């Protein structure tokens, strides 16, 4: 059995695609995969929304040959039983966690040891099925299982002397990471100067957030999240629903809030000292809410 936790991006999504840094953390919710030898090989989903946008079958067709090319012919005799606590397509790393957990469960079954970098490299190949050409932040933070600074495919652990509470509110699956990344690319091509300026401002926020996390300045971490959200709005990846959920969080005591992941739907994260109260507020407003601690 193998488990991989989901993730949130605290700062720097989209900018990370252009070589700027981002900060991401694993969350408490996970994907569990049990691999076993069987006469009925393949994938059995207990409750994983492999692809909330409906092209799951096509993705599954690509998954088996990809696993075979990474782990060999022996994969053709294996059944993977998948259970997930991470809603799919909502910017919480559900596909990257599945990628990491599939690799780990197979290695576990074969009695093979691989280091984190090797697991990360293999998971990237699977992640490409779901996301085309991802920056790598999702599966890297998930394989590292920590709070990381990520830039140009390299991860560094961030020390966090004061862990903080995050509440995640989920609006539903977003329109797709690839689509959102392409929309930002089009914006960059149409208006390079302004878009570069926005990406640089996001990078400044990411640098300042690392400093705030390391010094335990939680209030500044939260304020920087809110500033990052505004800049993601300027990149065109927020939505009125995400904006209003961030406002709802702040109106209910959150110190800061932002969308997390690709945007265009998906999830927001809010930093708060009262996670139970805020989660109840989101639920009352009709949204699924998850709680996690960062650090």
Binding site for ligand PMV (CB under 6 A): 13-14, 16-17, 91, 93, 134-135, 137-138, 177, 180-181, 261-262, 266
Q: Residue 270 Cβ, how far from ligand PMV at the closest point, in Å?
A: 17
Cα separation, 107 vs 114, whole angstroms? 8
Least gap, CB of 246 to ligand PMV (angstroms): 16
Instruction: Please identify, using beta-carbon distances, which residue of 71 and 155 lies nearer to ligand PMV.
Output: 155
CB 63 to ligand PMV: min, Å: 17
User: Nearest-CA neighbor of 131 among 248, 281, 27, 262?
Assistant: 262
138 is catalytic: yes
Q: Which residue is nearest to ligand PMV (CB)?
A: 261
Q: Residue 124 and residue 135: Cα distance in Å, rounded?
A: 9
Nearer to ligand PMV, 256 or 261 (CB): 261
**The tokens of 207 are what?**
């640098």
Contact assessment for residue 33 and residue 104, using Cβ atoms and an 8 Å cutoff: yes
Q: By C-beta, is 106 or 122 nearer to ligand PMV?
A: 122
Q: 71 vs 122, which CB is nearer to ligand PMV?
A: 122
Q: Would you say 168 or 262 has its CB closer to ligand PMV? A: 262
The distance of closest approach from Cβ of residue 134 to ligand PMV in the complex, given in angstroms and rounded to an integer, is 4
How far is 295 from 280, CA to CA, in rounded Å?
23
CB of 36 to ligand PMV, least distance (A): 30
Q: What's the rounded Cα separation, in Å, for the pair 93 and 89?
A: 8
Q: What is the smallest separation between the CB atom of 142 and ligand PMV, expressed in angstroms? A: 10
Catalytic residue among 55, 108, 121, 138: 138
Report CA-CA distances (Å) from 275 to 163, 227, 289: 13, 21, 10
Active-site residues, by number, are 138
């Amino acid at each position: 059995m193998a488990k991989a936790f989901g993730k949130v991006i605290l700062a720097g999504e989209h900018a990370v695609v252009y070589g700027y840094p981002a900060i991401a953390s694993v969350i408490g919710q996970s994907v569990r995969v049990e691999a076993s030898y069987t006469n009925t090989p393949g994938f059995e989903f207990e409750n994983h929304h492999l692809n909330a946008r409906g092209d799951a079958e096509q993705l599954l067709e690509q998954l088996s040959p990809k696993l075979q090319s990474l782990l060999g012919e022996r994969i053709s005799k294996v059944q993977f039983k998948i259970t997930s606590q991470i809603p799919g397509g909502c910017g919480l790393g559900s596909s990257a966690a599945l990628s990491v957990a599939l690799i780990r469960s197979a290695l576990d079954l074969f009695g093979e040891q691989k280091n984190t970098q090797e697991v990360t490299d293999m998971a990237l190949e699977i992640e490409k099925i779901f996301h085309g050409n991802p920056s790598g932040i999702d599966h890297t933070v998930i394989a590292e299982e920590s709070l990381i600074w990520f830039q140009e495919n390299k991860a560094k652990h961030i020390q966090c002397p004061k862990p903080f509470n995050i509440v995640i509110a989920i609006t539903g699956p977003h329109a797709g990471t690839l689509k959102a990344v392409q929309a930002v690319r089009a914006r960059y091509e149409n208006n390079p100067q302004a878009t570069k300026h926005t990406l640089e401002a996001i990078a400044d926020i990411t640098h300042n957030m690392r400093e705030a996390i390391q010094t335990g300045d939680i209030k500044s971490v939260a304020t920087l999240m809110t500033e990052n959200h505004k800049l993601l709005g300027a990149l065109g990846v927020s939505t009125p629903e995400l904006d209003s959920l961030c406002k709802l969080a702040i109106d209910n005591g959150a110190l800061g809030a932002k969308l997390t992941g690709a945007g265009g739907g998906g999830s927001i994260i809010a930093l708060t000292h009262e996670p139970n109260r805020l989660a109840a507020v989101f639920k009352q407003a009709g949204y699924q809410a998850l709680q996690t601690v960062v650090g």
